[in-house]
Amino acid sequence: MAKNDKEEVKKEEKKESKKEDKKPVSYGAKDIFVLEGLEPVRKRPGMYIGTTGPEGLHHLIWEIVDNSIDEAMAGYAKNIRVELLEDNMVAVTDDGRGIPVEIHPQTKKSTLETVLTTLHAGGKFGGESYKVSGGLHGVGSSVVCALSVWMKAEIERDGGIHVQEYRKGKVQGPVKKVGKSEKTGTKIMFQPDPEIFPDTTFDLKKILDRLRQQAFLTAGIRMEVVDARNPKDISYFGFCFDGGLNSFLNHLASSRKPILGSNFYVKKDYEKMEVEAAFTYGDEFEIKELSFANNIHTPDGGTHITGFRSALTRSLNDFAKEGGYIKTSEDAFSGDDVREGIIAIVSVKIPEPQFEGQTKAKLGSVEARTAVEAVVGDAMKDFFLRNTQDAKAIIEKCILALKARKAAKAAKDMVLRKGALEGLTLPGKLADCSSRKPEESEVFIVEGDSAGGSAKSGRDRRTQAILPLRGKILNVEKSRIDKMLLNKEIKSLVIAIGTAIADTFDLSKIRYHKIVLMTDADVDGAHIRTLLLTLFYRYFQPIVEAGYLYIAQPPLYRVQSGKEVRYVYSDKEKDKTVKELQDIKTEKAKAKAVKEGKEEKAPKEIIEEVFDDKNTKGISIQRYKGLGEMNPDQLWETTMNPANRLLFQVQVEDAEAADKLFDILMGEEVQPRKMFIQANALMVKNLDISG
């Protein structure tokens, strides 16, 4: 076909294509899809469990366990057992009343089948079955059924054992009576669907933490966990706490030095609601508050925690005024003043709580605020009368917090005012990038001028900024914000990042979407990195939560054989690399000997396994003790070049555990840190003590 003919054909094809584009898109009754049964859950699982990642996977267990806890709160169950079985199966058993199995009057199906295969079906919408419940949407068990490749319900009640199975939300047959039993209870076994969840491996620690928490909240109830995923190594765990929130509070405060002689505790009914609260104060600055509604953890708080804070602030201000500690309105304590160093737990049980979303992260019931504020406010007056020394200790701590807040505001205003007067001048030591787009900009925080010099010379000036810090920054775990903001290195960091700090923090003003901590691979480097992580966790946590904080992984060794250069990141990788290069040299030597007809002279072993840190018969090994030892091109190639580098994103999956760990490792108390080191010493395989 001639060239002109081809062009004509292409023109005709374009015309036809344009004609087709102009055809109206079909939109009628046949285009409207109705998802039946549990299909909506499988189609949009995130709407029901939040995510199909690890949190969503574990949410399946929480949904079933919460139903068992509802039985316990209603006074019908004493024991709850979670078993992790082979092939990522889970079994949850309780000794409650058992799900009814008789025919349901509305659905004309077994009540068991109705509960497990129908959205918004359960015993928590009316009647007297549950006066208080965490699972109010009626979708929990059915969602688990829908998102499991296999599920089995085993019910003991009415003198028999009743069984029914399901696959991907669809019933596999009628309820069968398979035996006799005088007991009552429910056992739900399920296997998460790998089509829904990329990873179906359950985290034992996450499960233990959750059930321990529930055991604290439901005094006297026994929680058991059995890890039988490896039949040859079965682990058993059990929790039962008669002390309730007091026991929970002591557990949370174990890493802090208390300033009170006794905990504040109250448990009281208020207009059909049960309010339980406990708090103490530690000799620290951090605030630790946990809130629950019907035993459901509400990490985003809600009306119950608002009521608690309001009662705490008002009661302490009233007591301080009566005692002559506060003379003017300017001396009144703010909410932050009275909460500094507090460790508090607030738990409410409400007949019909209003949560925000199926994951129940925040309580929205207005009446909860009134109930908590009234109960806690009255109880605090009584607490102050019976514990005058504790009351004075709290007031003195609040006064210190008030003074620190005013000093911090002055220091912060000075930092911000100075920046404003200088036209938001960035720190002189900051080698900024030319790009002004945060999404493509990154800043490397490095230790010392030597490493800073190499990084500045080797970087991509368009997108990469370098901020060298001199020495070890202040440990913010032991310092108030006013002292912190007077620290030159921290002040430079705050201005460089651009978000401001404390109550003026604004994530939208961040200047870099990658903040990279790049320290030496030695003890000092690890210490500096820990100090920086403490700073970000305590004062820039939204940056961490947004995924903007990273840790650079520079290589430990440069291994060279002839013209071939490899960078390795561990001793194990170094040994493997050297062995590979040895094998290559050996094969080349053998090939050369064969080519020259000297097979008998071919070496059996060209390079010995034993080597020192400098040279191994033709293989050069260089150990990097600091970033400053690397040439700019080497630093770029190994640690800063996006095509080659290894970055670890800092994430905080368990904020409570992270908070406790920072308290232990960076706080004032020596004994908890000593105990932690002793308990974990054997886990450290390669300890660098060269200093």
Domain architecture of the chain: domains with CATH: 40-239 (3.30.565.10), 245-405 (3.30.230.10), 426-554+650-683 (3.40.50.670), 557-623 (no CATH)
Q: In this structure, are residues 601 and 423 in contact, taking their beta carbons and an 8 Å threshold?
A: no
Does 87 qualify as catalytic in the annotation?
Answer: no
Please report, as a single letter, which amino acid is at residue 277: A
Q: Which of 94, 520, 637, 663 is catalytic?
A: 520
Does 524 qualify as catalytic in the annotation?
Answer: yes
Mean pLDDT throughout 352-362? 75
Q: In this structure, are residues 280 and 341 in contact, taking their beta carbons and an 8 Å threshold?
A: no
Does 432 qualify as catalytic in the annotation?
Answer: no
Q: Which of 352, 460, 522, 629 is catalytic?
A: 522
Does 70 qualify as catalytic in the annotation?
Answer: no
What pLDDT is stored for residue 244 in this prediction?
85
What pLDDT is stored for residue 256 in this prediction?
79
The span from the CA of 398 to the CA of 406, in Å, is 12
Q: Which of 441, 423, 424 is nearest to 432 (CA)?
A: 441
pLDDT bin (cut points 50, 70, 90) of residue 680 is: low
Name 379's bridge partners: none
Q: Which of 366, 341, 336 is nearest to 352 (CA)?
A: 366
DSSP state of 513: S
Cα–Cα distances in angstroms (integers) from residue 285 to residues 150, 259, 305, 506, 520, in the given order: 49, 12, 19, 22, 30
The per-type count for the chain, helices as H runs and strands as E runs, is: 21, 23
Q: What b-and-e string marks burial along 374-386, b requiring 16 or more CB atoms within 10 Å of the CB? A: bbbbebbeebbee
Cα 129–Cα 132–Cα 133 angle in degrees, nearest 5 = 90
Tokens matching residue 167:
């696959």
Write out pLDDT tens, residues 610-669: 344 444 567 888 888 778 888 899 999 999 999 989 899 988 765 555 566 666 666 666
The span from the CA of 688 to the CA of 203, in Å, is 31
Identify the residue with better confidence: 27 or 95. 95
Mean pLDDT of the chain: 82
Is the per-residue pLDDT at 134 higher than 60? no
Q: Which of 63, 94, 227, 524 is catalytic?
A: 524
The bridge status of strand 176-180 relative to strand 160-167 is antiparallel
Write out pLDDT tens, residues 533-588: 888 988 898 999 999 999 999 888 889 888 888 888 888 898 899 888 888 877 87
Q: Which of 447, 477, 637, 659 is catalytic?
A: 447
Write out pLDDT tens, residues 271-319: 989 999 999 998 888 888 999 998 888 988 999 999 999 999 999 999 9
